């Protein structure tokens, strides 16, 4: 049985479960992580870790009660900069303590889970984010219309 809850209700509970050591799977919304995670189709398996690195896709609380699942693009001291793979511009910031967990697998209906934390997945994400703005822009425009 699938149930839908508003993010304001669900994600603080997810953060609490992650803090207690549980692995949690949630269905994603939105298109900020395209082309790697498709909202309203894919689910993401999350797990808390003691350390996070540039390239990790993480669930973070960027403002009181506002959570995002985005990729770490920079870490300076305790300050973390996040950006969705499907976002052409705009970033969010949080502290390392605001990161609740890391995406370890993308689960697609009828398919085997895809490791999104391994070296192969991180390499694909780095290549994607290194593409020039205009290439990502046009690819995402076409991809959004097809998917």
* CATH number, position 131: 2.10.109.10
Q: What are phi and psi of 17, to 5 degrees?
A: -60, -40
Read off the pLDDT of residues 72-127 as tens digits, 9 standing for 90 and up.
999 999 999 999 999 999 999 999 999 999 999 999 999 999 999 999 999 999 99
DSSP-derived 3-state class of residue 106: strand
Q: Is residue 105 part of a domain?
A: yes
Rounded CA-CA distance 34/142 in Å is 12
Whole-number pLDDT of residue 147: 78
Instruction: Residue 38: give the domain boundaries.
Output: 7-141
Residue 2 within a domain: no
Report if residue 60 sits inside a domain.
yes
Prediction pTM value? 0.93
Residue 52 has pLDDT above 80, yes or no: yes
Q: Is 147 contained in some domain?
A: no
CA atoms of 130 and 145, how far apart (whole Å)? 23
Who contacts 72 (Cβ-Cβ below 8 Å, separation ≥6)? 52, 53, 54, 55, 56, 57, 58, 80, 81, 82
pLDDT tens digits, one per residue of 26-35: 999 999 999 9
Total structural domains within the chain: 1
């Amino acid at each position: 049985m699938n149930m839908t809850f508003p993010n304001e209700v669900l994600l603080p509970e997810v953060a609490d479960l992650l803090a207690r050591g549980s692995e949690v799977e949630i269905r994603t919304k939105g298109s900020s992580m395209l082309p790697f995670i498709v909202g309203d189709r894919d689910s993401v398996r999350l797990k808390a870790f003691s350390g996070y690195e540039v390239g990790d896709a993480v669930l973070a609380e960027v403002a009181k009660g506002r959570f995002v699942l985005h990729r770490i693009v920079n870490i300076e001291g305790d300050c973390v900069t996040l950006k969705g793979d499907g976002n052409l511009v705009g970033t969010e910031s949080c502290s390392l303590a605001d990161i609740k967990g890391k995406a370890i697998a993308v689960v697609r209906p009828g398919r085997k889970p895809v490791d999104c934390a391994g070296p192969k997945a991180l390499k694909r994400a780095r290549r994607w984010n290194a593409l020039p703005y205009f290439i990502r822009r046009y690819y995402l425009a076409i991809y959004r219309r097809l998917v």
